[in-house]
Chains A and B, each alone.
Chain A
Amino acid sequence: MDPKGSLCSNNWARSACLTSPGNGLQTNMSSDPSPFCGVRIEAPFKDFNQPSTNQSLLMAEPNKDIKISDIENCPLTDSSSQTGKLQDWDPNVMLNNLSFLEEKIHQLQGLVHLIDNKKCQPFAQPDALVTQEQQLITADLTSIIVQLISTAGSLLPSVRHTLANTSPLVSQLSQLRGLNLPFGSGPSGGIQPQNNNVNKVFDQSTQNDVPNNCEVEQNNMEEHETKDEEDVEEGENLPPGSYEILQLEKEEILAPHTHFCTICGKGFKRDANLRMHMRGHGDEYKTPAALAKPHKETGSEPKLIKRYSCPYAGCKRNKDHKKFQPLKTILCVKNHYKRTHCDKSYTCSRCHTKKFSVMADLKTHEKHCGKDKWLCSCGTTFSRKDKLFGHIALFQGHTPAIPLEETKVPAAPTDLDSKDNTCDKVGNMNFCFGSNPPNENEVQNIMDVKGNIDDPINYFSSLNFEGCNFGGFNEFSQSPFEDSDASFSFLMSGSFNYAPKPGCESTSDNL
């Protein structure tokens, strides 16, 4: 599902527009739109008119994603029975849904094969047609995913229903809007500005759900839990509940690759690498637009703040913890999980004592292991000058040693000092681990590392200190976050490799 998953990240409006043109290739799918629409329009109103018997469901709707609320109906032609079945889960319905999905995927496979064959004839297709076909696939995939999610959504425990706090009317209205989004025939730009928070949530959650189908349920739960809180307020200092909490599974976190080639299935760690790889699959991937970094926030609309939870129960970074402190980015999650809950399997090849669970940590350590030491006459070594000076100030008679080989001790930039104090908490990681470091020192280091994990910013800046980039830890700490954006951008619309139409720009931006 993964390759297709990345394809489907195309935006909704576009796909909706393109389902209608009668393309020859689309005939096998052409039956879809009408039932979709029919169900769609009916379902909410039915819900709305439902008497008290279905009250709990109505309450539940706003908590769930719209995608669930409206999409769960999609595959089911019998929408009236569906609402009832949601309450007590029906395996038959589930089975139905799954087989439906299977069928659709097969159809899609055929379509892709067809396109693939066509590609072999260079002059057969104008570019526009190719684009249309791709968009078509996207549309189909989108619907598949939506259905899949809704199917999974039906499994959600009924507990969440009680979390509802918005009025049913509002929720219904927002649902209607949500309906407009994927299937509206008008220009997407016209709809988009109206879309409030709810729609964005909708989009984002899809992005997150797509790759990890196994965890669809899990993620949905996350979103539902937070959704009611999101409606309250979106603040800068992030009071609890002002952000969306996502939680990846352990397997997801430890997965070596996050980007997969839609054609050959090869995995990559970075989207950029994937894009480079894609060039080999055809000329259409070589256009500057296809090679460009897919997604840049224009900042026109405030993006919902996402925060991450560690799946490890009992961890302070786990959302169930009393003093839960969320992780900022997915990279934070990965590093945190590896550092805190995994074995330290990488050993420094120089000192053979220091171990790391994150490769990058090892590399930064190795870069400085045994080097750049601030040495005291008593033999103690320090990785930072201010620590050495603190030591010398403390002990009578100790004095800095000057290495024999070099003619000059490398001078650290003077602004080190100003940075030092601002990051007192951070630097502890940077004690030097020479060939024979004092034991207690090391213990302390390890402890310090753990202590630092609590604060992602500090943690990254501490890394930065090891990298000796004293001057600008701000820039440095920035890069991981940026990277994390990129590494998960396969979820975003842009990773679909064709040039977006100008008319659809706003939509893709929003995604």
Chain B
Amino acid sequence: MSESLLCVLTEDLLVRVLHHLHSDADRKSWRLVCKHLNRVESLTRTTIRILRIEFLLALLHKFRNIQELDLSLCPRIDDGAVKVMLSQGSPGWTRGLKRLVLSRATGLGHSGLEQLVRACPLLEAVDVSHCWGFGDREAAAISCGTRLREVNMDKCLGVTDIGLARIAVGCSRLERLSLKWCFEISDLGVDLLCKKCFYLKVLDVSYLKVTSKSLRSIASLLNLEVLVMVGCSLVDDVGLRYLENGCPLLKTIDVSRCNCISSSGLISLVSGHVDLVQIAAGYCLSELSGPLVHCLKNLEQLSVIRIDGVQVSDFFLQTIGKNCKFIVELGLSKCIGVTNMGILHLVSGCGSLKILDLTCCRSITDAAISTIADTCPDLVCLRLESCDMVTENCIYHLGSSCLLLEELDLTDCSGINDIALKYLSGCSELVRLKLGLCTNISNIGLSQIAYNCRKMAELDLYRCVYIGDDGLAALASGCKKLMKLNVSYCNRITDKGMEYLSHLGELSELEMRGLSNVTSIGIKAVALSCKRLADLDLKHCEKIDDSGFWALAFYSQNLRQKTCYAGNTWFLQPV
């Protein structure tokens, strides 16, 4: 890059350009251009995700303007580390910090957490999800952040009503709170929360042992927009009736797996909120009753509805198709009674459908999928797992009409073959493709996909037994952005295939169970080149011996999780 170019591009212009670079790889390339660009990047960067804690201090010095610090990959961080961070990091690095991600930071204690929270005067969001050891003390530490608007405490198993009360009192501006799997929290805590935090917009009480009493409290929240209560098996229709007259701004509700609610409860909920946008009610009803379908008619704003595992009728799909013009996402996973006719009725009205989940709707055939492809050009995600009747004919329609398709799940669709993949390669935007158990596809089909779908990031080839080294070669040359790959039990793959895979620099998750022809040489190649590799599954790879693991231990610095079994029992410590 010449000097003149840099003279033309002033710093603010560079910043603007930089704003259009989103992926880490692109930014990395940017940083490597020259010192100047590197400096611009480090000054404008607001988000930083620490992969290894030993670089933390240096990174803190380099990036002065960070607003979001993600330490979720550093589970070993403890109170001592926090002390060092605060005392030896660049002066005032915490001053601008608004978001702190401490997910899975199980080593952190309450005193360290408190120091950290207190050091960040502008802190607005804290994520301590999956810190299973956290309890009331840690919650009390979080409550020191008086400006907090968002707290995620998923699976903080020790947090009780007391801890929640601390947060409710301390962080009265809270807008988003997730309490999923905080099993100790009861109605009492939720009630106090609703009395103290009037600004709550998003609340997740999934899997809590709360009863309808909590919903009475929640109904008093005037600003609540999203309520997620998956698996609250103690909540019944009485609770939903409280909601009917409360939460005037409610837009999204998730009552999946609430066993005790029935159609009548949902009817009262729906009739109280005609401007609902999202409903998720999977696995809580056995079938959609007529009156409920009738009620759903009134929801003109409805854009997302997920009713997995429910018996549906053509009448329901017809009603949705006729009345809910703005429907964007429809989840019918494992629904009984989804027929071609129903789908035809549905899509005739819902041209804007983007996400359709037809997992295990086994009676769906090519006719329905073709119609979907033709009438829903905006389709982004289609899940057809276990739809056995699907063949290349409908894939042709998908490949030619749904050019925006990003995600397609064809797991266990035995009708998929190389021709289907060839048609599918027309969907050049594909990011996620699942072809597990599609035993009829071979390297030829995979090559078609690989060369045409260059944005592919996630590919599942589980038990695609005809896939071999040539297919991986095509993948390596075509899908450079591949991050997740599953080639388990593709027995034709050898060390050569691994060699090809090693060219995938972005690869972070690799599942290669039961690859009996891969030896330590192949693993070493992957370990050497795939620096981002974090998850590796080597179960039943019996030819891999110690040297392979040595290579992994030595080269794969970012490896976090490795599954190996039968033969070798090496376990890499997360580094």
Contacts of B140 in A (CB 8 A): 402
A436 at the interface (CB under 8 A from B): no
In the complex, which of the residues A389, A400, A407, A414 contacts B191, with contact meaning CB atoms closer than 8 Å? A389
Contacts of B143 in A (CB 8 A): 399
- Indicate whether A400 sits within 8 Å of B166 (C-beta atoms), given known contacts A389-B191, A393-B195, A393-B196: yes
Q: Once bound together, how far apart are the Cα atoms of A95 and B532, in whole Å? A: 111
A194 at the interface (CB under 8 A from B): no
User: How far in angstroms is the closest Cβ of chain A from B233?
Assistant: 13
In the complex, which of the residues A389, A397, A416, A418 contacts B192, with contact meaning CB atoms closer than 8 Å? A389
In the complex, which of the residues B136, B184, B188 contacts A402, with contact meaning CB atoms closer than 8 Å? B136
* Cross-chain contact B137 with A402 (CB below 8 angstroms): yes
* Cross-chain contact B162 with A402 (CB below 8 angstroms): yes
Contacts of A399 in B (CB 8 A): 143, 165-166, 169-170
Closest to A397 in B: B169
- Indicate whether A386 sits within 8 Å of B165 (C-beta atoms), given known contacts A408-B136, A409-B160, A411-B160: no
In the complex, which of the residues A397, A400, A409, A417 contacts B213, with contact meaning CB atoms closer than 8 Å? A417
Contacts of B213 in A (CB 8 A): 417
* Cross-chain contact B165 with A392 (CB below 8 angstroms): yes
Q: Once bound together, how far apart are the Cα atoms of A400 and B192, in whole Å? A: 11
A328 at the interface (CB under 8 A from B): no
* Cross-chain contact A414 with B136 (CB below 8 angstroms): no
- Indicate whether A408 sits within 8 Å of B158 (C-beta atoms), given known contacts A385-B188, A393-B196: yes
* Cross-chain contact B192 with A392 (CB below 8 angstroms): yes
- Binary interface profile of B, 135-177, with partner A (CB < 8 Å = 1, else 0)? 1110010010000000000000010111001100110000000
Contacts of A408 in B (CB 8 A): 135-136, 158
A398 at the interface (CB under 8 A from B): yes
Q: Which of B192-221 contact A (CB under 8 A)?
A: 192, 195-196, 209, 211, 213
- Binary interface profile of A, 12-36, with partner B (CB < 8 Å = 1, else 0)? 0000000000000000000000000
Q: Once bound together, how far apart are the Cα atoms of A414 and B136, in whole Å? A: 16
Closest to A398 in B: B169
* Cross-chain contact A386 with B160 (CB below 8 angstroms): no
Contacts of B158 in A (CB 8 A): 408
Contacts of B418 in A (CB 8 A): none
User: How far in angstroms is the closest Cβ of chain A from B85?
Assistant: 25
Contacts of A386 in B (CB 8 A): 188
- Indicate whether A417 sits within 8 Å of B169 (C-beta atoms), given known contacts A409-B136, A409-B160, A411-B160: no
Contacts of B166 in A (CB 8 A): 399-400, 402
- Indicate whether A417 sits within 8 Å of B136 (C-beta atoms), given known contacts A399-B169, A400-B166, A409-B162: no
Q: Once bound together, how far apart are the Cα atoms of A389 and B140, in whole Å? A: 16
Contacts of A389 in B (CB 8 A): 161, 165, 188-189, 191-192
Contacts of B165 in A (CB 8 A): 389, 392, 399-400
Contacts of B195 in A (CB 8 A): 393
Q: Once bound together, how far apart are the Cα atoms of A408 and B187, in whole Å? A: 20
Q: Once bound together, how far apart are the Cα atoms of A393 and B187, in whole Å? A: 14
Count of residues in A whose CB is under 8 Å from the partner chain: 18
- Indicate whether A385 sits within 8 Å of B196 (C-beta atoms), given known contacts A399-B170, A414-B186: no
- Binary interface profile of A, 363-398, with partner B (CB < 8 Å = 1, else 0)? 000000000000000000000011001001100011
User: How far in angstroms is the closest Cβ of chain A from B138?
Assistant: 10
Q: How many A-B pairs with Cβ below 8 Å?
A: 52
Q: Once bound together, how far apart are the Cα atoms of A392 and B213, in whole Å? A: 18
* Cross-chain contact A418 with B211 (CB below 8 angstroms): yes
Q: Once bound together, how far apart are the Cα atoms of A398 and B166, in whole Å? A: 9
Q: Once bound together, how far apart are the Cα atoms of A393 and B162, in whole Å? A: 12
* Cross-chain contact B160 with A417 (CB below 8 angstroms): no
Contacts of A416 in B (CB 8 A): 186
* Cross-chain contact B161 with A385 (CB below 8 angstroms): yes
Q: Once bound together, how far apart are the Cα atoms of A389 and B168, in whole Å? A: 11
Closest to A420 in B: B188
Q: At the interface, is chain B mostly helix, strand, loop or mixed? A: helix
* Cross-chain contact A400 with B162 (CB below 8 angstroms): yes
Closest to B165 in A: A400
Q: Once bound together, how far apart are the Cα atoms of A402 and B211, in whole Å? A: 26
Contacts of A400 in B (CB 8 A): 162, 165-166
Closest to B135 in A: A408
* Cross-chain contact B192 with A393 (CB below 8 angstroms): yes
In the complex, which of the residues A397, A409, A417 contacts B188, with contact meaning CB atoms closer than 8 Å? A417
* Cross-chain contact B184 with A411 (CB below 8 angstroms): yes
- Indicate whether A417 sits within 8 Å of B192 (C-beta atoms), given known contacts A389-B165, A409-B162: no
Q: Which of A35-61 contact B (CB under 8 A)?
A: none
Q: Which of A219-256 contact B (CB under 8 A)?
A: none
Closest to B110 in A: A402
User: How far in angstroms is the closest Cβ of chain A from B234?
Assistant: 9
Contacts of B191 in A (CB 8 A): 389, 393
Q: Once bound together, how far apart are the Cα atoms of A259 and B519, in whole Å? A: 86
Q: Once bound together, how far apart are the Cα atoms of A398 and B165, in whole Å? A: 10
In the complex, which of the residues A392, A402, A414 contacts B169, with contact meaning CB atoms closer than 8 Å? A392
Q: Which of A412-470 contact B (CB under 8 A)?
A: 414, 416-418
Q: Once bound together, how far apart are the Cα atoms of A397 and B186, in whole Å? A: 21
Q: Once bound together, how far apart are the Cα atoms of A397 and B165, in whole Å? A: 11
Contacts of A407 in B (CB 8 A): 135, 137
Contacts of B162 in A (CB 8 A): 400, 402, 409
Contacts of B211 in A (CB 8 A): 418
Contacts of B186 in A (CB 8 A): 414, 416-417
Q: Once bound together, how far apart are the Cα atoms of A414 and B188, in whole Å? A: 9
Q: Once bound together, how far apart are the Cα atoms of A386 and B190, in whole Å? A: 12
Most interface-central of A397, A400, A408 (chain B CB within 10 A): A400
User: How far in angstroms is the closest Cβ of chain B from A400?
Assistant: 5
User: How far in angstroms is the closest Cβ of chain A from B163?
Assistant: 8
Q: Once bound together, how far apart are the Cα atoms of A416 and B192, in whole Å? A: 16
User: How far in angstroms is the closest Cβ of chain B from A502?
Assistant: 53
User: How far in angstroms is the closest Cβ of chain A from B541?
Assistant: 43
Closest to B210 in A: A414
Contacts of B135 in A (CB 8 A): 407-409
Q: Once bound together, how far apart are the Cα atoms of A385 and B191, in whole Å? A: 13
Q: Once bound together, how far apart are the Cα atoms of A325 and B170, in whole Å? A: 49
Q: Once bound together, how far apart are the Cα atoms of A386 and B213, in whole Å? A: 14
Contacts of A411 in B (CB 8 A): 160, 184
Closest to A418 in B: B211
Contacts of B161 in A (CB 8 A): 385, 389
Contacts of A397 in B (CB 8 A): 169
Q: Once bound together, how far apart are the Cα atoms of A397 and B140, in whole Å? A: 14
User: How far in angstroms is the closest Cβ of chain B from A281?
Assistant: 56
User: How far in angstroms is the closest Cβ of chain A from B78?
Assistant: 16
User: How far in angstroms is the closest Cβ of chain A from B239?
Assistant: 14
Q: Once bound together, how far apart are the Cα atoms of A411 and B158, in whole Å? A: 9
Contacts of A409 in B (CB 8 A): 135-136, 160, 162
User: How far in angstroms is the closest Cβ of chain A from B542?
Assistant: 45
Q: Which of A456-492 contact B (CB under 8 A)?
A: none
User: How far in angstroms is the closest Cβ of chain B from A163?
Assistant: 52
Q: Once bound together, how far apart are the Cα atoms of A400 and B196, in whole Å? A: 13
Closest to B167 in A: A399
Q: Once bound together, how far apart are the Cα atoms of A329 and B170, in whole Å? A: 51
Closest to A421 in B: B213
Contacts of A402 in B (CB 8 A): 136-137, 140, 162, 166
Contacts of A398 in B (CB 8 A): 169
User: How far in angstroms is the closest Cβ of chain B from A276?
Assistant: 45
Most interface-central of B184, B188, B211 (chain A CB within 10 A): B188
The 3 A-B pairs at the shortest CB distance, nearest first, are namely A399-B169, A414-B186, A400-B162
Residues on B lying within 8 angstroms of A by beta carbon are 135-137, 140, 143, 158, 160-162, 165-166, 169-170, 184, 186-189, 191-192, 195-196, 209, 211, 213
Contacts beyond the supplied A407-B135, A409-B135, A411-B160: 11 A-B pairs with Cβ under 8 Å: A385-B188, A389-B192, A392-B192, A393-B195, A399-B166, A400-B162, A407-B137, A409-B160, A409-B162, A414-B184, A417-B187
Residues on A lying within 8 angstroms of B by beta carbon are 385-386, 389, 392-393, 397-400, 402, 407-409, 411, 414, 416-418
Can you list 9 A-B pairs, Cβ within 8 angstroms, ordered by A? A386-B188, A389-B188, A392-B165, A400-B162, A407-B137, A409-B135, A409-B136, A414-B209, A417-B186
